[in-house]
Chain A
Amino acid sequence: MSGLDEQIRGYTADRAGGIRDADAAALVTRATAKPVPGRGWPRHIVNLTAALVLAAIVIAGGIVLETQLRGLRHSNSVATGNGPLPTVPNDTVNLINQSLGDSIVVPFRVRTGTPLAQRPRFLVTPTMAIVTNSGGDCALSSIRLVDPNTERDVRPAVWLKDCYDTPVVLPGTVVLFAHHNFQDANRNQYQELGTVAYDWSTGKITRSYPTLNFGFVGALASRDGTLLYTMTPAFSDRPILGITNLVSGIQVTDIPIGLTGSGMNPGGMALSPDGLTLYVNEGDQLATFDARSGHTGPVIRYRGVGTATSFAWPSWLPSMTLANAKEGMTAGRGLGVGPQGRWVAALGADDPDHTGIWLVSTTGSPHVLRRIDGTRTFAGIAVSPDGSVIYALESQGPLFVLDPQSGREVKKMANPGGVVAIAGVGDN
């Protein structure tokens, strides 16, 4: 048991110990006593009056806030251009619904604004998805290949000892899984057992990487599946960017990342379309690395008007576990790469009050092109495959289609309900 676990258990026990049986018994006695007749109507009237007053306050507040926001938006002038807006592509954006968990996506047709049938998130082929289920004690896990439309098994399930989750789908027939178990029978001590390579065509584990742990954070694989990019440990003030050669099993490099503050919520990793550059969204800046060697490249600060000297970590950045896409963190978190590789869109801030989507030019001398919509708190972004628009999900709010060229809003769609993150576009 960790120190934190012990402290939480001690604290909960102390607090709960302060409640006596007699206190609770008195509540039951009062609750089971006969109710006083006629209590209901006055209470309903009070509630109704309160609701009407509150509604009036909310409406008035909304008008004032809207006026202020318009002024603020105008003064920051983050969006520019008066030309025609791009047409909404016929894409499906994969949304993560909190109640369904992060292994299911709800494809959302943006042109018509309609959600389609949910499907398992991790596709190994266009017609096959991989699904893992683990028992509560990690004694046994099933790995299933299912039809993404019907969720019916297309092959017999494979049963393996321990828990396997956080799939990273590689090219070919291999999927990487984080492998873990509990050290004792009481399931108190979580134990990372590294990473395994699972060949879904044969239903067998083909390789184990005992020292490669990416746990809940996820990982990103190179296009050819030979390198794995990880950011570990998950709960560290000083995360390490690791590059592991999956063929040799050797870690090519480990680089401390200069995340501000706690560093637990970096805004994701992504590769350039040519696979040569690795981008890491550090929240207040975009760091670039040589994707093969890990050599450090240019770092682009998200700078704009109102830059503060003391920067606090933007805690609103979405956590990694909610929106890992097919290839780990490629799509739909706080980072999206234009299809031509000429720009990167990143959620970030240069001070806590100056947030937005930062469009960074990656050609020539990298620099911030523009900041898009600094008035909202976004929970995730993705770039359309043709690069014509950016999809941005407001935290607990609507899905926006934005023009990267001008920063203007192309379309706004209501949240279908319970959607908390974006997990890529199309079959990603």
Chain B
Amino acid sequence: MDDEARLRAADAAAFEHLLRDHARAMLQFADFVLHDRSAAEDAAQEAFVIAWKRRNTLNDVSAFVPWLRKIVLRECLRWRRHRLFLSIGLSDRVVARSEPDATLHLDMATAIQRLSPKLRAVVFLHFYEDLTLARIATELGIPESTAKTRLYEALRRLQRFLPAYTGSKSGERT
């Protein structure tokens, strides 16, 4: 990393500018991963606070988006765990794990909601951000094979839930 980039990363104003440029995309990402708008705002804000506090650890400005994406995803997953704990604490109901049920024919929103947040993250980056699997792997900090497996698994489940749309075998991009 050159001196100019280091200075730029350390500069609070420049960092805030950078954060504002990508805030909407990150909120969209969090919203899709959690499928809960208010939860997404909580998670995204917490992620932005963390990013702001740790801005000096960003060594390479060009790595800003993957760096921030990982923080946002981590906060989304943390938020979800937190909510799960709350639901255990507040209710004595046993919440069954949402295993895919082959007999259900669902609409797209419900089908996507039935995916795990990690699978939803890959679906969003692939279908909305239009990223390649290699890029998705970089942004989420996972091996490309894992990104591929997650995308495959997500499509497999969606195809199971939405048989009306499964006209072809497309969907896999490497």
Binding site for B on A (CB under 8 A): 1-5, 7-9, 11-13, 15-16, 18-21, 23-25, 27-28, 30-32, 35, 50, 53-54, 57, 98-103, 134-136, 138, 163, 182, 187-190, 192, 215-216, 233-235, 237, 261-262, 264, 312-313, 315-316, 319, 321-322
Contact = CB atoms under 8 A, between A and B. Distances in A.
Given A3-B168, A32-B12, A215-B169, 18 more contacts: A4-B162, A5-B170, A8-B123, A15-B28, A15-B32, A18-B37, A25-B24, A27-B48, A28-B20, A101-B144, A101-B146, A101-B149, A138-B174, A216-B152, A233-B169, A262-B102, A264-B160, A315-B100
Contacts of A188: 170, 173
Interface in B124-174: 124, 127-128, 132-134, 142-146, 148-149, 152-153, 155-156, 158-160, 162-174
A237 B162 CA distance: 12
Nearest to A11: B108
B167 to A, nearest CB: 5
B58 interface: no
A136 B135 CA distance: 10
Interface in B65-110: 85, 88-89, 99-103, 108-109
Nearest to B42: A27
A28 B23 contact: yes
A356 B88 CA distance: 29
Nearest 9 A/B pairs, CB to CB: A101-B145, A31-B48, A261-B102, A24-B23, A262-B102, A12-B128, A4-B165, A2-B168, A24-B24
Interface residues of B, number: 64
A5 B99 contact: no
B166 A4 contact: yes
A31 B108 CA distance: 33
Contact of A187 (B49, B88, B173): B173
Contacts of A31: 19, 45, 48-49, 51-52
Contact of A103 (B133, B145, B168): B145
Between A24, A35, A313, the greatest number of chain B beta carbons within 10 A of the residue's beta carbon is seen for A24
Between B19, B101, B152, B174, the greatest number of chain A beta carbons within 10 A of the residue's beta carbon is seen for B174
Contacts of A28: 16, 19-20, 23, 48
B101 A315 contact: yes
Contact of B102 (A1, A103, A312): A312
A313 B145 CA distance: 27
B44 interface: yes
Given A2-B170, A4-B166, A27-B45, A9 B128 contact: yes
A16 B28 contact: yes
A57 B45 CA distance: 30
Nearest to A8: B127
